[in-house]
Amino acid sequence: MEQQKRYGHFDDQHREYVITDPQTPWPWINYLGNEDFFSLISNTAGGYSFYKDAKFRRITRYRYNNVPMDNGGRYFYIKDGDSVWNPGWKPCKTPLDFYECRHGMSYTRITGRKNGVEASVLFFVPLKKWAEVQKLTLKNESNEVKTLKLFSFEEWCLWNAATDMENFQRNFSTGEVEIEGSTIYHKTEYRERRNHYAFYHVNAEIQGFDTDRETFVGLYNEFADPQAVMEGKPRNSHAHGWSPIASHYIEITLQPGESKDFVFLLGYIENEQDEKFSAPQVINKQKAHALIAELDTTEKVDKAFAELCEYWDALLNIYKVKTGNDKLDRMVNIWNQYQCMVTFNFSRSASFFESGVGRGMGFRDSNQDLVGFVHQIPPRARQRIIDIASTQFPDGGCYHQYQPLTKRGNNDIGGGFNDDPCWLIFGTVAYIKETGDFSILDEMVPFDNQPGSEVTLFEHLKISMDHVIKNLGPHMLPLIGRADWNDCLNLNCFSWDPNESFQTTENVSEGTKAESLMIAGLFVVTGKDYVALCQKLSEYSDNSEYSDEAARMQQAVDAMIEAVKKHGWDGEWYLRAYDFYGRKIGSNECEEAKIFIESQGWCTMAEIGAEEGMVAKSLDSCKKYLECEHGMVLNNPAFTKYIYEYGEISSYPEGYKENAGIFCHNNPWVIIGECIAGRGNDAWSHYAKILPSYVEEKYQTLHKVEPYVNCQMVAGKDAYKPGEGKNSWLTGTAAWMWYTVSEFILGIKPDYDGIRIDPCLPETATDYTVQRKFREADYTITIHPNGSQKGVKTITLDGKPISGTVIPYSAGKHTVEVTM
């Protein structure tokens, strides 16, 4: 492979990725905001903002799949004589003398220079504020006086992002704004049922404005050459219907060497029903005024920014590693943890591949996401677990998705994905191990959000396990239902109708023999966790009910292990499933897709048949048949034709998505399998293949998407362009990469009574230190691998040897030395 063009590099000291060429192979984006107000921002300032829900509270407009790509965002136009340019290059695309975009932890700084003027914009959402700050610093670096004309630009979305792109017969008549001083208010639908409005403010006097898009841009012009800007003349337009925008116009004179700051603020406000208006038709702006007053000077903004940086310092101080390998350290210490926070916040809702109008939060997705996040802000993970469990049904099944704004289960998609219940165990156990907070199990949690139906969370866990046991097929393996983790393996959906959704069609299931080995493995892994939890509970409470429950579930787990060994083994690897008719899927007997990754991952993690050599054979088969230069593909060989009995999986062309793509999410399952088996060299080589920093070094052009985070899918070996990435940011890969490296490779595992030390490393690993805050304790753990891949020999805690591999928890600062 020849050396590929590079578009940027890591700056670890500032925890930034620095983009030095605006024409990246795809927009490289960042996320702003941490709790309520969120923005997506690309390296050319494209993107949009929303409050809590990307569908129902979209604040600014964005057009997906546009030509050219990534059009629409927060733009500053600088008119300097005849030249008009933007600090982020787009939309004018005037060549710049210098361009740089720094994506950092919840902030982005874009700097452009042209003809002796530097414009640098810092974008961030201050903690606990419902606003995006855009601090623009203009500096005259020339020897002449500069007279500049500055135009800001935002385009309002008419709140519901779906109807905004559809219902033009209504939309073109509803838009309303108010203008007051340097603030432009967007109040479409405020007169009726909306109790919210947005505003765009600048902390300077303006010499003009525009709020009507056509007037500002011109009917036959584009964002690249808005008429008002090109002519240097704002129109002071007032939008009535059509497309409301917000643009400030400011005339600026800068002496040589002089610089000026402007604080732009995009805010969101909610009013009480009886406080909506200050006069007929006039918005009550009190809260907007208050919010503006909190952020109307450079000093206030700098302080808010410093607070945001401290917030991230604290979060990233919880788990820190020093291995001496920069590529590993920067992913563990910065970007992997950052991506985990973003996926926790956004689930699969809004990215440059997820339009924000589609699905809500996934039951299984959210449970997995929180495992990557629970060490950062445990109370938020706790609340998430309760929210998720509240969408469960009394029989243990659950809604596949729920809406974040209402927290209600999503009826469009419904339930019947039979892996879903197990994930609740996975998430809850991770939370308790991190925090020691068993009280979450006593929380009263409803079914389907119905008041009066509450039972304890523990009861929810129990029925989750039972849901699997009560839905076994002819081989005593779990029935797959609509699909398991692989949403596209639709074994009970027989569809010849292109207008039917694979996800929601279940034509047949009566009499089905479709069983899943992936759920079998998942059940054994989470079943063992559940048994251990019950044992802990009985130990702590002296209540024999818990030990009985542990025994009951252990039996079910043992039975499942036997069923897998008997009916789930193909000779060299685990089968993937049985179809509706009871025929093998993922078997050497099959014509295509002879082996699948998911069951190899889960059954090796579950150590099913380890003594019989199944685990080692399965892992070897992954290397032999699934591994390629860019990671492990999902199945091999790829499907080349549509198989009616299998559904969506065979609808994808070879090498993409669930049909033999490298679906990064599941690579860590095999890597953990390798770690549990003690095969550190193999674990590491699989891991490094999909570790963004290693990909960054080699494949910026080919990989296409952001080199600082994982993407959901990389084109597999059967694809036209193996190695090309898609669907960046919002993927369970983030949490799984984190879980894998923090607990299984580096080997620092939270446990009920302390921290278990159990690394699995490549032979080449050298001494490393992990700084781990855990509950009220702060551990400095140094590991001496001594060339060993696995197996802890000795541990000393504060200088004294301890037996076993669990450092018993006690508050305070501790030093731990581990030799392998």
- Catalytic (active-site) positions: 487
Nearer to ligand GLC by Cβ, of 308 and 670: the residue is: 670
Spatial distance between the Cα atoms of 518 and 486, rounded to a whole number of angstroms: 9
Provide the 3-class DSSP secondary structure of residue 16. strand
**Phi and psi of 439, rounded to 5°?**
-65, -20
CB of 155 to ligand GLC, least distance (A): 29
CB of 652 to ligand GLC, least distance (A): 8
Spatial distance between the Cα atoms of 290 and 296, rounded to a whole number of angstroms: 10
Secondary structure (DSSP) of 468-527: HHTSB-TTSSBB-BT-SSSTT--TT-----TTS-TTT-----TT---EEHHHHHHHHHHH
Beta-carbon contacts of residue 465 (< 8 Å; ≥ 6 apart): 396, 421, 422, 425, 523, 526, 527, 530, 553, 556
Nearer to ligand GLC by Cβ, of 478 and 609: the residue is: 478
Cβ 304 vs Cβ 199: under 8 Å: no
CB of 710 to ligand GLC, least distance (A): 12
Residue 450, judged by CB atoms within 10 A of its CB (0-12, 13-18, 19+), counts as exposed
Element spanning 249, H or E:
strand 244-254
Nearer to ligand GLC by Cβ, of 500 and 558: the residue is: 500
CB of 364 to ligand GLC, least distance (A): 5
Spatial distance between the Cα atoms of 296 and 262, rounded to a whole number of angstroms: 9
CB of 460 to ligand GLC, least distance (A): 20
Nearer to ligand GLC by Cβ, of 569 and 596: the residue is: 596
CB of 357 to ligand GLC, least distance (A): 14
Nearer to ligand GLC by Cβ, of 199 and 523: the residue is: 523
Enumerate long-range contacts of 165-172, CB under 8 Å, 24 or more apart.
Answer: 165/63, 165/357, 172/241, 172/242, 172/243
Spatial distance between the Cα atoms of 533 and 311, rounded to a whole number of angstroms: 33
Spatial distance between the Cα atoms of 47 and 356, rounded to a whole number of angstroms: 12
List of residues contacting ligand GLC (CB under 6 A): 348, 359, 362, 364-365, 485-488, 503, 648, 657-658, 665, 712, 731-732
Torsion, Cα of 601, 602, 606, 609 (10° steps) = -70
Nearer to ligand GLC by Cβ, of 134 and 666: the residue is: 666
Cβ 788 vs Cβ 762: under 8 Å: no
Nearer to ligand GLC by Cβ, of 125 and 585: the residue is: 585
The 3-class secondary structure across 251-286, one letter per residue, is EEEECCCCEEEEEEEEEEEECCHHHCEEECCEECCH
Residue 65, judged by CB atoms within 10 A of its CB (0-12, 13-18, 19+), counts as exposed
Nearer to ligand GLC by Cβ, of 210 and 648: the residue is: 648
CB of 318 to ligand GLC, least distance (A): 26
CB of 348 to ligand GLC, least distance (A): 5
**Phi and psi of 397, rounded to 5°?**
-70, 175
CB of 483 to ligand GLC, least distance (A): 8
Q: Which residue is nearest to ligand GLC (CB)?
A: 487
Cβ 329 vs Cβ 770: under 8 Å: no
Nearer to ligand GLC by Cβ, of 158 and 488: the residue is: 488
| Tokens, residue 722 | 């193996």
**Phi and psi of 193, rounded to 5°?**
-95, -5
CB of 598 to ligand GLC, least distance (A): 9
Nearer to ligand GLC by Cβ, of 337 and 486: the residue is: 486
Nearer to ligand GLC by Cβ, of 154 and 365: the residue is: 365
Bridge partners (DSSP) of residue 264 are: 134, 202
Q: In what order do the strands lie in the sheet with 98-104?
A: 8-11, 16-19, 98-104, 107-114, 117-124, 131-140, 259-270, 196-202, 183-186, 177-180
Spatial distance between the Cα atoms of 646 and 628, rounded to a whole number of angstroms: 25
Cβ 223 vs Cβ 247: under 8 Å: no
CB of 727 to ligand GLC, least distance (A): 8
Cβ 49 vs Cβ 126: under 8 Å: no
The 3-class secondary structure across 352-415, one letter per residue, is CCCECCCCCEEHHHHHHHHHCCCCCCHHHHHHHHHHHHCCECCCCCECCEECCCCCCECCCCCC
Cβ 202 vs Cβ 264: under 8 Å: yes
